Amino acid sequence: MEHFDIAVCGYGPVGSTFAGLMGKLGHKVLVIEKNVGPSPTARAINTDGEQLRTFDRLGIAEKIVKNSSEVHCVHFADANLNPIQTIEQPVGVSAMGWPNQVLFYQPELEGFIRTSVESEENIVIKEGTELLSFEDCDEGVYLNCKNSDGDLKFFSKFFVGCDGASSFVRRQLDVGLEDFEYNQEWLVCDAHLTKKVNIPEKEAMQICDPKRPGTYVPGRRGHLRFEFKKMPSEDSNELEKDENVWKLLKPWINEDNAELERAQVYSFHACIAETWRKGNVLIAGDAAHQMPPFMGAGMGTGIRDVTNISWKLDLLLKNKVNEGILDTYQRERHSHAKWTIAQTVTIGQVIEGFCAAAEGKEYEPKGPSYDVNFPHIPSGIYSDPADMITGVPIPQPILTKNNKKEMLDRIIDETFAVLTLESDLNLTEKAKTIIELLGIKIITVTSNDDSEERLKSVFEKYEAVLVRPDRYTYGGVKDISYLSNMIESLEKEFSLNL
Ligand SMILES: Cc1cc2nc3c(=O)[nH]c(=O)nc-3n(C[C@H](O)[C@H](O)[C@H](O)COP(=O)(O)OP(=O)(O)OC[C@H]3O[C@@H](n4cnc5c(N)ncnc54)[C@H](O)[C@@H]3O)c2cc1C
């Protein structure tokens, strides 16, 4: 029976990204996937600057950006497609060092991730292989699978279920879902332009038509995404018929200028798993949470999960920390994911509110919808997150070091890093031991190094900040003499083996 450090069930965008991250960290990884080849159609269509930082670790962020587009604004529009409210979207390179939001084509994105994953010799991919059962014991997890060759058995020290919304792994763990009682059915259509047409290329639209709420998103290279709410009296099979789909698409495209990729009714749910880890088994991605796609954040939430857990499993496998570190996964990710689900539901409610207003009911949109910042993580941090620096990703400058320009993430690489303006750190022996154990990099930044001043607001508050391997700021110290205290606090926070 072949042994692995990490086994993953599911080779979707979340499982493949996780496999790539663990493989690049040098671990022996097994991926089990029942289907063969990337998803043939698009579901997720947008990603953000934070996720691009993770994709950059797989060496594919530039390729993704090159093969994507950006929208400049999102309109909430009436039935005649006239804007009621417009939310401008920042375009171009953001503080993350990458565009704020880009629109990609999922089969292509999955292809990019897979090419990176499959270039790692220590990752074994078993496609066309179904996971049938697993058994967790103290040392690891036994996995029973089957494929066309028959039954297969594997052993892995840790096992992560990235097996999607109806997760077999979650159900086997007997983990319940907290349900937000948001259940709607929408027809999702993807089309591709075959001729140039005069429709908005840089503006997305939430259509607040009480007779048929909908969504229009112009993707990259003529890929168009439409979503239409299935109304209570309608039959899904009828709605999915080509002739009915083309009628819905008439305000934008027709059979002479576009091809239909697929039209399918999806059930949108909002829910989150109550437990994200039992023993040596964890869940991530849609297996741990589901949300309606109005904010385009479902896949992104999963990418954040695996970015969070990968460095912790890495340290555990390298025996630098003890198992306690795994408890920090759900503690840090659960409320963040729950906030994201609530936010997507809010956008759905804004659409419903404008629809109600169109029918003469009173509606005043409350609070922001798209123009919100993700919250800080609630733990795994040192200083007060009210500073807007702690518990969120550190801005990414392009630093000039030794006459060479380099993105901060590529200097940090896969470890913790102290960013400081000071050269004399006067560290305690214990802090030095922790620096050695974790391979913490000390990066001295002068104002000349950061010509775009992306770290200006950070250094206005702190003399030094400590960045985690997932690029989240662990904390900052206003006086460099406290840097040792901050480093020493890692021992308890992340269960270091000192
Ligand atoms: C219409 C729509 C639009 C969306 N738009 C966006 C968007 O713009 N942005 C965004 O971030 N998200 C979006 N999402 C959400 C996004 O598509 C999902 O969150 C994302 O695909 C989840 O990825 P995953 O890897 O967790 O799961 P999946 O992509 O579902 O992958 C799970 C994999 O596990 C495999 N598997 C399951 N069980 C087994 C088993 N027993 N053995 C072996 N293999 C198994 C499956 O075959 C599958 O390949 C959208 C979703 C929909 C439906």
Q: pLDDT tens digit string along 66-124?
A: 999 999 999 999 999 999 999 998 899 999 999 999 999 999 999 999 999 999 999 99
Binding site membership of 226 for ligand 1 (Cβ less than 6 Å): no
Mean pLDDT of 163-184: 96
- Distance from Cα 163 to the centre of ligand 1, integer Å: 8
C-alpha span between 366 and 350 (Å, rounded): 8
Residue pair 145/165 in contact by the 8 Å Cβ criterion:
no
Mean pLDDT of 260-286: 97
Say whether 13 sits in a helix, a strand or coil.
helix
Nearest CA to ligand 1 atom 33: 10
Per-residue pLDDT, 225? 97
Residue to probe by mutation, ligand 1, list 54, 223, 299, 340, most atoms within 8 Å of CB: 299
- Distance from Cα 395 to the centre of ligand 1, integer Å: 29
Per-residue pLDDT, 352? 87
- Distance from Cα 286 to the centre of ligand 1, integer Å: 6
pLDDT band at 371 (very low <50, low <70, confident <90, very high): low
Where are the chain's structural domains? 2-68+104-180+273-358, 385-493
- Distance from Cα 114 to the centre of ligand 1, integer Å: 15
Phi then psi for residue 446, to 5 deg, are -105, 165
> Any idea which residue has 């027809």 for tokens?
187
- Tens digit of pLDDT for each residue in 10-25? 999 999 999 999 999 9
Could you tell me whether strands 83-88 and 73-77 are parallel, antiparallel, or unpaired per DSSP bridges?
A: antiparallel
Angle made by CA atoms 247, 346, 236, in degrees to the nearest 5: 30
pLDDT band at 368 (very low <50, low <70, confident <90, very high): low
Question: How close are the terminal C-alpha atoms of the chain, in Å?
Answer: 34
DSSP per-residue string spanning 63-114: HHHHT-B--SEEEEE-TTS-EEEEEE---SB-TTSSBSEEE--HHHHHHHHH
The answer on pLDDT for 289 being more than 90 is yes
Cα torsion through 228, 16, 60, 303, rounded to 10:
60
The answer on pLDDT for 364 being more than 80 is no
C-alpha span between 152 and 142 (Å, rounded): 11
Binding site membership of 45 for ligand 1 (Cβ less than 6 Å): yes
Nearest CA to ligand 1 atom 52: 43
Say whether 4 sits in a helix, a strand or coil.
strand
Binding site membership of 337 for ligand 1 (Cβ less than 6 Å): no
**Who contacts 359 (Cβ-Cβ below 8 Å, separation ≥6)?**
210
Nearest CA to ligand 1 atom 37: 163
Tokens of 353: 């509110």
- Distance from Cα 169 to the centre of ligand 1, integer Å: 14
The answer on pLDDT for 162 being more than 80 is yes
> pLDDT exceeding 90 applies to what percent of the chain?
89
Nearest CA to ligand 1 atom 3: 43
Residue pair 446/400 in contact by the 8 Å Cβ criterion:
no
Binding site membership of 20 for ligand 1 (Cβ less than 6 Å): no
Binding site membership of 300 for ligand 1 (Cβ less than 6 Å): yes
User: If 0-12 CB within 10 Å is exposed, 13-18 middle and 19+ buried, where does residue 198 land?
Assistant: exposed
- Tens digit of pLDDT for each residue in 435-487? 999 999 999 998 789 988 999 999 999 999 999 999 999 999 999 999 999 99
Report the CATH fold assignment for 385-493. Answer: Glutaredoxin (3.40.30)
CATH superfamily, domain 2-68+104-180+273-358, is FAD/NAD(P)-binding domain (3.50.50.60)
- Distance from Cα 162 to the centre of ligand 1, integer Å: 9
- Tens digit of pLDDT for each residue in 17-61? 999 999 999 999 999 999 999 999 999 999 999 999 999 999 999
* Residue (of 69, 351, 37) closest to 217 by Cα position: 69
The answer on pLDDT for 277 being more than 90 is yes
Binding site membership of 395 for ligand 1 (Cβ less than 6 Å): no
**Who contacts 51 (Cβ-Cβ below 8 Å, separation ≥6)?**
300, 303, 304
DSSP per-residue string spanning 303-352: HHHHHHHHHHHHHHHTTSB-GGGGHHHHHHHHHHHHHHHHHHHHHHHHHH
pLDDT band at 173 (very low <50, low <70, confident <90, very high): very high
Binding site membership of 219 for ligand 1 (Cβ less than 6 Å): no
The answer on pLDDT for 347 being more than 90 is no
- Tens digit of pLDDT for each residue in 290-304? 999 988 899 999 999
Q: Lowest-confidence range among 39-53, 179-193, 364-378, 437-451?
A: 364-378
Binding site membership of 126 for ligand 1 (Cβ less than 6 Å): no
Binding site membership of 15 for ligand 1 (Cβ less than 6 Å): yes
CA 239 to chain centroid, in Å, comes to 31
- Distance from Cα 161 to the centre of ligand 1, integer Å: 12
The answer on pLDDT for 210 being more than 80 is yes
Nearest CA to ligand 1 atom 17: 44
Residue pair 408/290 in contact by the 8 Å Cβ criterion:
no
Binding site membership of 293 for ligand 1 (Cβ less than 6 Å): yes
- Distance from Cα 62 to the centre of ligand 1, integer Å: 23
Q: What is the mean pLDDT of the chain?
A: 95
Binding site membership of 298 for ligand 1 (Cβ less than 6 Å): yes
The answer on pLDDT for 388 being more than 70 is yes
Binding site membership of 34 for ligand 1 (Cβ less than 6 Å): yes
C-alpha span between 417 and 239 (Å, rounded): 54
Atom of ligand 1 nearest to the CA of 217: 8
C-beta pairs of 209-217 under 8 Å, 24+ apart in sequence: 209/78, 209/79, 209/355, 209/358, 210/79, 210/355, 210/356, 210/358, 210/359, 211/79, 212/248, 213/351, 213/352, 213/355, 214/248, 215/294, 216/252, 217/45, 217/46, 217/71, 217/103
Beta bridge partners of 217: 225
Whether pTM exceeds 0.85: yes
The answer on pLDDT for 282 being more than 80 is yes
- What is the DSSP-derived secondary structure letter of residue 375? P
Residue to probe by mutation, ligand 1, list 21, 34, 172, most atoms within 8 Å of CB: 34
The answer on pLDDT for 273 being more than 90 is yes
Q: Which helix (H) or strand (E) holds 54?
A: helix 49-57
